[in-house]
Structure 1
Amino acid sequence: MDQSRAPADDEVVLETDRLLLRRWRVSDAAVQHELWTERDPRVPPPRRIDADGHPTVEDIEGWIRRDEHASVRDLLVAERTGEGDVIGYCGLIPSVHGQDGEPELAFEFLRRVWNQGYATEASWAVLAWAEASGYRRLWATVRNWNTASRRVLAKLGFVETGRVQPDALHGDSLFTSRAL
């Protein structure tokens, strides 16, 4: 089912039954902006559109063009293969929680595709990719109020570590991990 192929120019491409996971393109900026606008108001301000409307689509295009987020280079666009539309992202980001460079799984999908299994499907592909890359464990942090993401992580075999970062304003962050 899930396959990864060795792409040219060090570009990661993962394929599942319904998804192609690939690097960001400038043309994907509008979808990333839409994700920013849909975020729950409890998400901390640096990850939401600010009072001045930033980041704009143009800001995000610039980030992608300049590869300003090289630290999240393995955060891949999720594109539906049948429709050809971008619906979110899933991938790995640097983690300060793990040892020996163990990364963190991250995913976010447009609300219109929630409850269709895309986050779980994409995450399984990323887990296989991480294991094939030699990682022994992945981390994931999730706000205590984010029950949908907590369910996805549980399906994937992530377990809560007992570590919690309290945040009365935005909701506590729960630390989870999964051996590969």
Structure 2
Amino acid sequence: MSTELVTKRLLLRPWRIDDAKEALAIYGDTGVSRWLSPAMDRVPDAGAMRLVLQQWIGEDNRLLWPAGRWAVELRDEKRLIGGAVLLPLPPRGEDMEMGWQLVPSAWGHGYASEAGLAIAKWALGEGLDEVLAVVRPANDRGEATIRRIGMEWVGETEKYYDTRLQVFRLRAADLPDLEHP
């Protein structure tokens, strides 16, 4: 099960079925979902979102540590604004990918960088040698967030998801400090 991560403004916590309405505002938005395909398609309605959350919650209990999925919540407002992951990359699962998705109204406030850095620090503190982030070449917003976190570009590949992707890496030595967020 995913452990809770706390930052200055955010709480990254396990997903709950009652998050479906707020989660649909994220994963049902075409501006978000266009970057998730082929790993995930746009979620069309609340019923489908509940099914996705049920699947994620079930998978979270079976993932090998430190992999996980988190709901991203604003601490002060207790409002769900996004989701974040640390998951094995296909096809062989030997590389760990971190990622995040926010509701568009939360874009531009630094929340994605804050969530990504929290996951990276935690994962590297749990013994991973490195974490990766992959992004489509046209996803300028995603790439900017990755660079703000301090990730280093390592190249392009079609290894993951059979899609041309930019690959970025972060190692413990690349972090300014390894204290937990």
TM interval, shorter chain, is 0.7 to 0.9
Residue 32 (1) aligns with residue 23 (2): yes
Percent identical: 23
Q: What's the Cα RMSD here?
A: 3.0
Residue 140 (1) aligns with residue 140 (2): no
- Distance change >3 Å, CA 91–CA 60, structure 1 → 2: closer
Provide the residue aligned with 1:177 in structure 2.
169
Provide the residue aligned with 2:175 in structure 1.
none
Aligned amino acid, residue 165 of structure 2: S
- Distance change >3 Å, CA 54–CA 79, structure 1 → 2: closer
Mapping for residues 1-180 of structure 1, pairs under 5 Å: 11-40=2-31, 42-43=34-35, 44=37, 47-49=40-42, 56-64=48-56, 67-68=58-59, 70-71=62-63, 74-96=68-90, 101-165=94-158, 172-180=164-172
Equivalences, count? 165
Aligned amino acid, residue 114 of structure 1: W
Name the TM-score, length of structure 1 as normaliser. Answer: 0.77
Q: For residues 117-139 of structure 1, give each alpha carbon's deviation from its aligned partner in whole angstroms, at most 9, with x where no partner exists.
A: 00011111111101110011111
Tell whether the 8 Å contact from 1:102 to 1:135 is kept in structure 2 after alignment. no
More divergent stretch after superposition (25-34 vs 11-20): 25-34
Tell whether the 8 Å contact from 1:49 to 1:55 is kept in structure 2 after alignment. no
Tell whether the 8 Å contact from 1:78 to 1:88 is kept in structure 2 after alignment. yes
Tell whether the 8 Å contact from 2:124 to 2:171 is kept in structure 1 after alignment. no
